[in-house]
A and B are shown apart, each in its own frame.
Chain A
Amino acid sequence: MEVKHIFRQCLNIHKKCAYPGFGSRSRFQEILFNGSGLGAVHRLQNSRRYSTGTVSSLEREAIPLPKEARVVICGGGILGSSVAYHLTERGWTDIVLLEQGSLTCGTTWHSAGMIGQLRGNTIEMEMVRYSRNLYKRLEEEGHGLGWKECGSVNLARTHDRMIDFRRKHALASATGLEVHMLTPHEIKQMCPLLKSDDLEGGIWIPSDGAVTAPDVAMVFSKLAKDKGVKILEGVMVEKIQIQNDVVKGVKTSAGTINCEYFVNCAGQWAREVGKRSVPKVRVPLHSCEHYYLVTKPLEKVDRMMPVIRDQDGYIYSREWNGGILAGGFEPVSKPVFHTGVPDKFEFQLLQEDWDHFQILLEQILHRFPFLEDAEIRQLINGPESFTPDSNWILGESAEVDNYYVAAGMNSRGIVGSGGIGKYMAEWIIDGEPSIDLWQYDVRRYVDHHNNRQFLQDRMREVLGTQYILRYPRDDYKTGRKLRTSPLHTRLEVAGACFGETMAYERPMWFDPDKRERGEDVYIHQGSFKKPDWFEIAQEEYMACKERVCLIDMSSFAKFEIKSSGKEALDYLQYLCSNNIALEPGSIIHTGMQNVLGGFENDCSIARIGKNFFFMICPATQQTRALSWLQRNLPADGSVQVRDVTSMYSGINVIGPHAQQLLADVTDVSTTKKDFNVMTCKIIDVGHAGGITAMRLTHAGEDGFILYIPSEYALHVYDTLMNAGKDYGIRNAGYYAIRHLRIEKSFAYWGLDLDAHTTPLECGREFRVKFDGKDFIGKDALIKQRKEGVSQKFVQFMLENFDVDNDVWPWGEEPIFRNGRYVGNTSTCGYGFTLDRMICLGFISDYDENGQPKINPNMNDYVMDKNAIYEIDIAGTKYSAKPGIHTPKLALSSVDPSLLASLHR
């Protein structure tokens, strides 16, 4: 009923707005489409000849280059303009924006300008929703950026795409975005021009819309300029001057500016700009050809026609000047500018490759049969930059303090720029954005991500993944098998099925039959429902619980921290919230908090010697952790920090037999009395020596992680495998660990925890040493202890969940308490001991404005006996039982001393 009503509304709008002219037609469109069309645009005829832009976007004023500025922004596209605008909104106005050509002349000017708010996670959804609201407001204030609220309809050709829509529908509606699922019939009614008889359905977002992209950028720059930002066109950044790893100034083609902050918003040039400093700053992105066509005006096309996305056909379309603009993201793209983006590429396009575009054209005609007779106005091939994981690159660089990056938009620049500008301004001014942007953080990369050959290979795939249906935990197929542990080949033969993190290939589970079936062991068919590895993960899980398994943990980031005196200890005490000052030979789990008390990192630190520490943290922390460690180093150079990730392989010997197995192959006693939990020793295994053995497993089971100098790793592995035969030893993968720890409600950094969650919010107060030492974030945590927290980490067990047939929770499912939205799941998995589907996640008590309330009795709020929890998985709400402690049953591991095998 409701849906139909809205349809009517929509149709009315259509009538009202039928052809009110072409709206605000910007000068950029004129560049694109006026005159002879083809002639006016400076097209790149071949890779060597570039024509020079003759069209200037603004009347260039001869502003002299200022000597000083607080912030220098490099790049006059929509990102640079937005960052400038949002900084002025926060009161910073001593800003210089440098553009090597003319404003918007890079890629902004040829962006399609579609504003779609339906995203796969809450963070991005929040950012683009901010953008959309901002554009709408600016339009209403008379700024003329071509905003029209035409709504958008995404189409599903497959059942799985419908599941994807339902998951997004659940997330969107829980967080207040109006969305409606559509049947093919409803789609037909709404958009009679498109072919709908082959559709499964669709989803409608009425508040979506479209803008004229360059106009948005021009409005941002105008507003910023009004507040005092100096915008200089035709000025190129030549060198970013760095002193002691802090930004000091910018050398430009027009002279030098001293500045405190530098923001690299150089779009597809950002990677090159990143190289113009010492040290260099990694900005891994690569340009690809991106195509859309524009037809001549068509009678049938209404100006308020909703934006249509037919992602299963790789295509999108919107109304444009009375005609249709239609383009897409083909499955295999064409990377360009491999050897560098030309400096002069103003208002230019690339030579169109019709053959390459055909796959999209075919789909466009399939979906919009009426376009068969439409005449082409122009085919646009404009380069856009993409990143290795298809996420934006934002934040402060790991290499240089006060050096910020906002680039790599992956064709989501116009829709993202508002939100990105807002949070970048927070990041620069407050040192931290108010929401967690780890998935977009420039520090998520390591060097190999910036390898040009890798980028080129990966980009062939990334462009297409904008639209191709991605299943949970999908890995990329290109650029794989780069970092492998010394055990890799052995594990491959043993049937390992690999997944990638930080380019490291990790065995996720073992299925020797998969290879025999002729299937790829690196690429796995995804699923929203029970995955094909489920039964195997269960076996491996049980083997970890009841016998003994080896798990390759080599991908973990590893660091050595040492000093000659007690400086290293003091340093770590200040960085860590837990007490590091234990006896040598002990290990401590600790967070490293930021000033807000949030987890900058979550790690295990072994005190190997009095002034020598070995630190383990998640693989994804490799760059970020090192950056954090280095930034906080004492200035006198007394403490040395070294990334030793590649030097050591890690083998997790996990399970009740681990103690005896290790005893069989080493000379030290492994009994709990001699080798207690959370302690470490340097031991021999087989013929190999120098192995750091730690009694912990990161999964709550008994066992040891052996950190082995890499050349001994294979020997140690073989020794353990041989010795373990009679213990029923087997290989296990990451899914075993994941299920073990999810069941025990152990939170993992990067998956459950981030810079915006504190130890007190996830039940880890016991790991915070409040007394007798000072550490970063202590004040914030003391305040929380006193006043209470605003969110709480909770484990939910789903009731009535059919594990075989229902759509699984994979994270980002909305959680409801008494019918009210209180948060999202973070990680989920099946509890094989509890026999329940388990979801972890943070929940909050939101006030009327959607702000989380601080609650001194958060635990009572969570565990309130009358509270009814539900989790919405793709449209089905499951009741869920909350818990804030590890379930006792999950801890019921058997004491190895009681096992019969020990009495042989």
Chain B
Amino acid sequence: MTEAAGEPKKEEAQDFRRLHSYPLIRHSDMNEEMRTEAMELCVTACEKFSTNNETAARMVKESMDKKFGSSWHAVVGEGFGFEITHEVKNLLYMFFGGEKAIIVWKCS
């Protein structure tokens, strides 16, 4: 019984992981083009460095610095709380892959 119950649960869990793997923007006040570009960048970074959050974040931060000026901050992780000050119209907070949360903001 427990096994049977466990299995569908597992399947469910996996299912959801699959279903939830698309990038979902939770909060952003960027303008359209900046937002899409940043989102693409984050997705690429996470896919490339799926095992290492630090390098993913580094890639995101450096690319944002180059494209939109200094200085950006990026956090990639699965469990954290934050309180930040960001320049208006320069914040992106999104989820990806069902597990990862990425927040990117500018504040020099």
Indicate whether A and B interact: no
